[in-house]
Structures are given as C-alpha cells and as structure tokens.
Amino acid sequence: MTVYRLFSLLNYRLTPGKHEFTVAELINAPELKVSLAARKVKVLTVDVSAEQRYHIAAQFNTDRIYIGQNTGYWQPIVWQTESHQCEMKSEP
C-alpha cells in the first residue's frame, strides 16, 4: 500500500517551464523505522504548464521495510494536477 502525505498548503505562482523544489517528507507512520539521519530533503523537478495547479506529496513506499540510513522509503511526486486560472502580475 502507498500512503501520500502533502508537504504544504502554500500556493506559489510560477511561470511555465521547469522548476525545482527542495522538499522534505512529513510521514508520521508507526511502521516507518528509518533513522532521523536518513530523513533528508529531496529535489523534485516539475515542468509547469500554464493554467495548472500542482499538488506535491510524499509517496511512502510500503512495499519494502526500510531501516537505518536508507532514503528510498519515500519519493516526492506530483500527486494531483488540476485546471486553475492563474494570473501573473508583471513587475513595474
């Protein structure tokens, strides 16, 4: 089974194109026995399209048992996209 956890409820206005996000997981699961040292940030690259909203999440890989320094227990993903009318304000 895979569990998704959202990173943040913040919204950011971005220009279309590739953007990199440095993210950290907030997985609170009793079966997760990964050391705090293994809980590192990861980078997610998203090719942003106009008029879209992207929901970023952590995918918890429950198909394996992770212990020690293994960072493969999760990966950042675009969990959901939705149409959203956006307007970028130009700077004076």
pLDDT tens digit sequence for 23-40:
888 777 777 777 777 778
What ranges do the domains of the chain cover?
2-83
The whole-model pTM stands at 0.73
Give the pLDDT score at 27. 73
DSSP assignments along 23-61, one per residue: E------TT-EE-GGG---EEEEEEE-TTEEEEEEEEEE
pLDDT tens per residue, range 50-83: 999 998 888 888 776 666 677 788 889 998 899 9
Q: Residue 63: which region, alpha, beta or left (left: phi > 0; alpha: psi -120 to 50)?
A: alpha
Give the pLDDT score at 1. 35
CA distances from 13 to 28, 46, 85 (A): 29, 13, 11
Residue 90: pLDDT over 70: no
